[in-house]
Amino acid sequence: MNHSPWPSLEVHAFLTAITGLLQPPPPPGSHGDKVILMGTGVSEDGHALIAYRERPDGPVVGVALNVESFRLLFDPKTTELGLARIVAFDEIADPSGPGSIRNGTWDATILGRDADIGWRVLTE
C-alpha cells in the first residue's frame, strides 16, 4: 500500500485511463447511455475519485476506490487501463449493486465545492 503523502503513479495512470474512456461528454440534447464525467481526483488517503452524472439533469454521483486493493481482485497483470475499463463499464455504466454508500468529504476535491455527492466506495 502507498503510505506516502503523494498519490502513486498507479492512481494517476488509472485516472488518466478512466478519463479517456469517459470523455468526451455526450452531445447536448443526446439521450445516449454515456455518463457525463464531472471530475476525477485523489483523496488524502490515496483513493481514486470519479464523479459523474448518468444524465445531464441528474445528480452528481461518485465512485471511490483504492486502486491497489481493487487490483488484488483481478489478474496481477491487469493494467491500469484494464482496471479503468472494469470500473467504467461494470461499476459506473452498469453497477452490480450500490456498494458502500457514504457521504465523503471529497466533493470539494473533485468539483471545487461541496456538492452533496453520494459516494460508492468499491474498496477501502
Q: Which residues contact 123 (CB under 8 A, 6 or more apart)?
A: 65, 66, 69, 70, 73
Please state, for a pLDDT cut of 70, what percent of the chain lies above it: 75
Grid cell for residue 67: 486502486
Whether the CB-CB separation of 113 and 105 falls below 8 Å is answered with no
Site of grid cell 476525477: 40
- pLDDT reported for residue 1: 42
Reported as a single tens digit per residue, the pLDDT across 45-96 is 888 999 988 888 888 888 999 998 999 999 989 999 999 999 988 888 766 5
The candidate with the shortest Cα–Cα distance to 65, out of 11, 103, 108, is: 11
Interval 31-47 mean pLDDT = 81
Return mean pLDDT, the chain.
79
- pLDDT reported for residue 58: 82
- pLDDT reported for residue 13: 92
Whether the CB-CB separation of 119 and 48 falls below 8 Å is answered with no
The more confidently predicted of residues 98 and 77 is: 77
